[in-house]
Amino acid sequence: MEKLLELLSEELKQAFEDAGYDKNLGKATISNRPDLCEFQCNGAMAGAKQLKTAPLLIAQKVAEILTKNPIFSEVVAVAPGFLNLKLDEGHLKAYLEQMTKEDKFGVKEPKQKKTIMIDYGGPNVAKPLHIGHLRSAIIGESIKRIARYQGHQVIGDVHLGDWGQPMGLVINELKLRKPDLIYFDDTYQGEYPQDAPFSITELEDIYPTASKKSKEDSEFKEKAMEATFRLQNGDRGYRALWKHILDVSVTDLKTIYDKLNVEFDLWKGESDVDHKLADMVAYMKENGYARISEGALVVDVKEETDTKEIPPCMILKSDGAALYNTTDLATIMERMEVYQPDTMIYVVDKRQDLYFEQVFRCAKKTKLIGENTTLKFLGFGTMNGKDGKPFKTRDGGVMRLETLLKETNEEMYRKITTNRAMEEEEAVQTAKIVALAAIKYGDLSNQAAKDYIFDIDRFTSFEGDTGPYLLYTIVRIKSILNKYVEQGGNLDNVSLKEAGSASEKNLMLEISKFNSMIETAYEETAPHKVCAFLYDMANAFNTFYHDTKILSEEDKDKQAGYIALLLLTKNLLETCIDLLGFSAPDRM
Ligand code: ARG
């Protein structure tokens, strides 16, 4: 269905035209003086410039016509030339009724259904997930859900870091620790064992050790590079061992993403395009896109309009080795072949923005993507601690994602159990649900590109602009609805009524913004717009709740109207938190 602002703009256009002015001046916006009106139109100001007359005169003439229009309950022309508007209660009710009836509350299917690939998560195999990866997972998941809700075909790809140097480091360290493993026996011809010769705990210890050694010990580093080379060139034993590393790591990753309510459609990684690298490199050479520079193969990507230096995109190092760029470009090539996406969105730390600029330009220049394919980098800022520096553990180390989750769960559990008595099991489960909301909302309510401070006390608070506050609001509504049913009410038999108070109307007006909010959140890849909408709606509901007696209302018809409004509010709130990737408990 049409967005409310568009419907109102239609009426305004007609009025401007009828008054003898350019109809394009008729545009409704949300009022920036909510104390005076709900909507406004500034068209008379622009019209006055064109016609060199007084804006107030135009506004008055248009107002005279609009006053007769039943869609507005109040139209006032005010100096210097604004039109202040209030929506008629009956029309507002009808609009919400339509939202209730329609699929997705009236969000229209897109004119053109797009295929969108979202590259997010980006964990590195064999390395524990740290909080840097948290943002990518949270933001990417939400963007995926919003785009899907808008009606597009969306494919989420985790794009594992599972190739290259880190793998060589792990293999080399394993070789030192367990030299007798069959994988290192070059003469071995048989099948390799099914089970991995290490556990996830061991694996997580191996990588940091190896990484540290490679920085201090040049012989170790050289051996690790050799191991990488052998792996990438198909050494049987190394490949088999690597497969174990991958399996053990991915199993562990899946459990964590599961806890985060993050789900990928594709578990592809850098290694999956290894077989394409040679062809891609040949293609770039043959078509004259790539040139040799100091032994390395590069593609120039600078443009005349650049204001800063954009270095060439390196395709192969001077020793012939592939890099992060190479696998990313080959992945673009493969995605185009298999999925023909219209858009690829990369949700990655904003410090990689120059890198992606190079890769995107290179993909465009070498025609790996079509003319109409969009590559979009959604760079996110850093999650900082209260001291404003990147988030650390108490002893100054890198915070593991699991530790963060555990600590937030505990804090939430403490708050919930001090709030009310609850069975142990339910309290634990509820704490998990609410903690996830605390973390995700804390992250998503900021504009993605900005740094933000992870403040566990604030994020887990039941008051203010927080996840728990929203969940608390939903739980409150659920409880009223349950009591209504217990009192013999039937939720299928309720229907909306015209607003009878300012707070009721305000809640209805908030609700009416839903479909334009979704559109903006999608177009601007901006989950924080969903958050702002949720917070406004929750506030509007709580104000309404405080000055309305709902369950004790004696006029049953009026009461049924309230309940219908509550149902719609709850359904919208739940839809929105689902778009952010979390859910609400039944009680808290
Ligand atoms: N694994 C990378 C990292 O930890 C992120 C991957 C981002 N995606 C991509 N296509 N490069 O930094």
Q: What is 466-534 written as a DSSP string?
A: SHHHHHHHHHHHHHHHHHHHHTT--GGG-------SHHHHHHHHHHHTHHHHHHHHHHTT-HHHHHHHH
For the CA of 123, the closest atom of ligand 1 is: 1
- How many A from CA of 509 to the centre of ligand 1? 42
- Whether 327 lines ligand 1, by a CB cut-off of 6 Å, is no
- Whether 159 lines ligand 1, by a CB cut-off of 6 Å, is yes
Identify the pLDDT of residue 263: 98
Contacts for 221 with CB less than 8 Å, ≥ 6 apart: 213, 214, 215
Identify the pLDDT of residue 306: 96
Question: Which burial class, exposed, middle or buried, applies to 46 when counting CB atoms under 10 A from its CB (0-12, 13-18, 19+)?
Answer: middle
CB 174 within 8 A of CB 133: no
| Identity of the residue numbered 91 | H
CB 443 within 8 A of CB 138: yes
For the CA of 359, the closest atom of ligand 1 is: 11
Nearest CA to ligand 1 atom 3: 122
- Whether 335 lines ligand 1, by a CB cut-off of 6 Å, is no
- How many A from CA of 264 to the centre of ligand 1? 15
Identify the pLDDT of residue 160: 96
User: Quick one: tokens of 181?
Assistant: 């493993």
* pTM of the predicted protein model: 0.95
Identify the pLDDT of residue 237: 97
Identify the pLDDT of residue 398: 76
Mean pLDDT, 10 residues at a time, the chain of 588 residues = 96 97 96 94 93 94 97 96 97 98 96 97 89 92 98 98 92 97 96 95 92 96 94 94 96 95 98 96 97 96 95 93 93 98 97 97 97 97 89 76 92 92 94 98 97 94 97 98 97 97 98 97 98 98 97 97 98 98 95
Mutate to test the pocket of ligand 1, among 250, 352, 376 (most ligand atoms within 8 A of CB): 352
- How many A from CA of 472 to the centre of ligand 1? 36
Identify the pLDDT of residue 390: 82
Pairing of β 153-157 and β 115-119: parallel
Residue 186: phi and psi, rounded to 5, are -65, -20
Distance (Å, whole) CA 362 – CA 369: 10
Identify the pLDDT of residue 479: 97
Length of the chain: 588
Nearest CA to ligand 1 atom 12: 122
Look-up: residue for tokens 């299917």? 109
- Whether 328 lines ligand 1, by a CB cut-off of 6 Å, is yes
Q: Report how far Cα 542 is from the mean position of its chain's Cα atoms.
A: 27
3-state secondary structure of 352: helix
The full set of domains in the chain, from first to last, is: 4-87 (3.30.1360.70), 165-259 (no CATH)
367 φψ region: left (φ > 0), alpha (ψ -120 to 50), beta (else): left
Identify the pLDDT of residue 530: 98
